[in-house]
């Protein structure tokens, strides 16, 4: 997928995640080696940031004072329920298990008719971070791991016939 990239100078990964909404901090040496060395460099403390990054800081500034800000930030695994009514289709609930960087590990799609489909990373063409764990929007979507596991066990695999 696309995205906008910068080299951000900061004191820690945590500081970047606390300062900018909806970002991924790449720290794997192989990914850094593959990155474009001509990316713009930005210091996290600069008062004026490039277009795009400035909006992500403004969004995070707005979120910071809301209840639930950062509630999921230190979790190794989070289990979440997200309702989806979009695109004119049937309303659906997605139960997600996400890791500490917001990437889905497993997912159960629950349709209104009771159909439950499960999928994992091998079923998805790509798996970018889909959950900003600092975003207070996610704090009230947390479910108990047992609820996720029960749904996972009763769901059929997305590719199975029945």
Say how far apart CA 12 and CA 63 lie, in whole Å. 20
pLDDT band, very low/low/confident/very high, at 38 (cuts 50, 70, 90) = confident
Cβ pair 83, 112 in contact under 8 A: no
d(CA 156, CA 135): 31
Q: What is the pLDDT of residue 161?
A: 59
Q: For residue 104, give both structure tokens.
A: 């889905």
pTM of the entire structure? 0.86
If one compares 32 and 20, the residue with the highest pLDDT of the two is 20
């Amino acid at each position: 997928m696309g995205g906008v990239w910068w080299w951000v100078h900061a004191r820690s990964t945590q500081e970047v995640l606390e300062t900018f909404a909806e970002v991924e901090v790449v720290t794997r040496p192989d990914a850094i080696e593959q990155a474009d060395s001509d990316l713009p460099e930005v210091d996290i403390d600069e008062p004026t940031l490039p277009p795009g990054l400035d909006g992500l800081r403004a969004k995070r500034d707005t979120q910071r004072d809301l209840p639930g800000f950062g509630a999921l930030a230190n979790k190794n695994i989070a289990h979440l329920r997200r309702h989806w009514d979009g695109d004119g289709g049937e309303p659906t609930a997605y139960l997600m298990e996400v890791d500490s960087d917001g990437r889905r590990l497993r997912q159960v799609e629950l349709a209104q008719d009771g159909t439950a489909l499960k999928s994992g990373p091998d079923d998805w063409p790509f798996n970018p971070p889909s959950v900003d764990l600092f975003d207070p929007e996610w704090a009230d979507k947390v479910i108990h791991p047992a609820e996720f596991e029960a749904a996972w066990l009763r769901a059929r695999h997305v590719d199975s016939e029945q």
